[in-house]
C-alpha cells in the first residue's frame, strides 16, 4: 500500500495557516466579539481607533491629503508604484554612437613664397575630404548642484575606422581653374578620434513639467588619420599622374578643434517616465590646428601645418525613458558644423621651405546614440 505524502499535507497546512492569519488578525484588531456562546448572526462590534493611534500614521496622512472624507483607518497603503521618483544628484550613461559626415580642407591662393613674394589667384587648387563614418563609445556624466545649476561632461572615443575612402582632388591649370586635373582615393588604415566636452547650465525657468536653461561650455576634438593610397589618375589627361598604391602609408592627417561655446535649451517632462531635451550651441571662437604629411613626396616628404579660426554650430536633441527609480535609457541626435579659415605653412621633410598658402576647413558631423544610464 502506498504511503501518504505527509510533506504535501504539511505544506498545504502551512499555506492555509499563512493565508488565514491576516483574516484572524484583522478581526482581532477591530475588536470582534469572540465570547463563547455568541450568536453567529450577531453584529460585529467595531470600535473606532483612538485619536492618539491615528495621529502619526503615514496612511492617515495619505488619506487626509487625497480624500479627507475617507476614514483614516481605511486608507490604502502606499506601494512602490505610487512613490514619486526622487530628484537625482548625479547620473552616468554609457553606450554606442554612430557618426557620419566628413572634414574637408582646401588650400589655394593667395600664396607667399619663402622670399616674401605674394601671388594671387583662384581658390582652391587642392582639396582633401576625410570621412567620419565611424562608431564611437560615448560616456556622459551629469551633476545637479542645486535646482538652478548643473555640470555636464562627456567623453567619446572611436571604436572603428571609416569605411569610406579619403578623396584628394587637385586643380593645377591656371588657365582653366575649374578643370579637375588630378584625383586619388586612399583607404583609412588608422583613425584615433577623441571628443571631450564639459559645460555648466543655469536653469532660469523651472516649471513642474518644463524648464529653460542657458549655459557655457568647452569642446575639444582630435582626429588623427593614416591613409594608404589606392590609385591616382588625371581626369583631364595630364601625363605622369597615374599611380597605384603599394600598401605603404602615403598621407597622415591630424586636426584639433578647440571650441568654447554658449548655448540655450529647454526640457519637457511627461510625468516621471519620459522626458525630452533640446539645445542649440554657438561658438564664435573656434581655433583649429592641423598637420598634413605627404610621406611619398620628394625631398623627404611634404609637411603642411595650418592654423585657422572660425565658428561652430551645434544642435543636440535627446529623449530619456526611466526604467525604474535608478536605471534609464537615453537616446538622441547630434549635429555639428565647424567652419574655419587661416594659413597653412609648407616645408619639405629635409627642411627646405615651400611657402604659405590660404587654407579653409569645414567639418560636418551628424550622429545618433543610445545609452544606458544610472541615476544616483
pLDDT in tens, 105-118: 999 999 999 999 99
Residue pLDDT, tens place only, 169-188: 999 999 999 999 999 999 99
Confidence band of 68 (pLDDT split at 50, 70, 90)? low
Mean pLDDT, residues 284-310 taken together: 97
Cell of 319: 529623449
- Nearest residue to 283 (alpha-carbon basis) of 220, 326, 330: 220
Residue-range domain boundaries for the chain: 1-43, 48-83, 90-375
pTM of the complete model: 0.77
Level-2 CATH architecture, domain 90-375: Beta Barrel (2.40)
Task: Give the DSSP letter string of 291-356.
Answer: EEEETTSTTT-EEEEEEEEEEEEEEEEEEEEESSSSEEEEEEEEEEEEEEEEEEEEEETTS-EEEE
Amino acid at each position: 500500500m502506498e504511503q501518504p505524502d505527509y510533506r504535501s499535507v504539511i505544506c498545504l497546512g502551512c499555506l492555509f495557516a499563512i493565508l488565514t492569519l491576516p483574516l484572524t488578525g484583522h478581526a482581532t484588531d477591530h475588536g470582534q466579539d469572540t465570547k463563547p456562546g455568541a450568536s453567529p448572526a450577531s453584529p460585529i462590534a467595531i470600535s473606532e481607533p483612538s485619536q492618539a493611534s491615528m495621529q502619526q500614521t503615514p496612511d492617515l496622512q495619505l488619506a487626509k491629503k487625497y480624500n479627507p472624507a475617507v476614514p483614516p483607518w481605511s486608507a490604502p497603503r502606499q506601494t512602490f508604484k505610487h512613490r514619486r521618483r526622487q530628484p537625482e544628484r548625479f547620473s552616468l550613461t554609457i553606450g554606442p554612437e554612430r557618426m557620419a559626415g566628413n572634414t574637408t580642407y582646401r588650400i589655394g591662393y593667395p600664396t607667399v613664397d619663402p622670399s616674401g613674394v605674394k601671388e594671387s589667384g583662384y581658390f582652391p587648387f587642392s582639396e582633401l575630404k576625410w570621412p567620419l563614418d565611424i562608431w564611437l563609445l560615448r560616456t556622459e556624466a551629469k551633476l545637479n548642484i542645486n535646482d538652478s545649476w548643473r555640470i555636464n561632461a562627456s567623453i567619446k572615443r572611436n571604436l572603428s575606422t571609416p569605411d569610406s575612402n579619403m578623396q584628394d582632388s587637385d586643380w593645377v591649370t591656371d588657365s582653366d581653374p575649374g578643370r579637375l586635373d588630378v584625383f586619388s582615393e586612399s583607404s583609412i588604415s588608422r583613425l584615433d578620434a577623441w571628443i571631450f566636452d564639459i559645460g555648466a547650465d543655469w536653469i532660469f525657468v523651472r516649471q513642474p513639467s518644463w524648464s529653460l536653461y542657458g549655459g557655457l561650455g568647452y569642446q575639444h576634438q582630435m582626429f588623427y588619420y593614416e591613409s594608404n593610397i589606392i590609385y591616382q589618375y588625371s581626369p583631364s589627361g595630364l601625363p605622369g599622374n597615374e599611380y597605384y598604391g603599394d600598401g605603404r602609408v602615403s598621407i597622415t592627417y591630424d586636426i584639433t578643434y578647440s571650441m568654447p561655446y554658449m548655448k540655450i535649451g529647454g526640457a519637457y517632462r511627461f510625468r516621471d517616465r519620459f522626458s525630452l531635451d533640446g539645445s542649440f550651441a554657438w561658438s564664435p571662437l573656434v581655433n583649429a590646428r592641423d598637420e598634413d604629411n605627404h610621406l611619398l613626396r620628394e625631398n623627404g616628404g611634404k609637411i603642411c601645418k595650418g592654423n585657422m579660426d572660425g565658428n561652430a554650430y551645434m544642435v543636440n536633441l535627446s529623449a530619456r525613458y526611466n526604467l525604474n527609480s535608478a536605471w534609464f535609457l537615453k537616446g538622441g541626435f547630434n549635429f555639428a558644423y565647424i567652419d574655419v579659415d587661416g594659413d597653412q605653412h609648407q616645408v619639405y621633410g629635409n627642411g627646405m621651405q615651400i611657402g604659405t598658402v590660404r587654407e579653409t576647413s569645414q567639418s560636418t558631423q551628424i550622429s545618433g546614440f543610445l545609452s544606458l544610464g544610472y541615476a544616483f
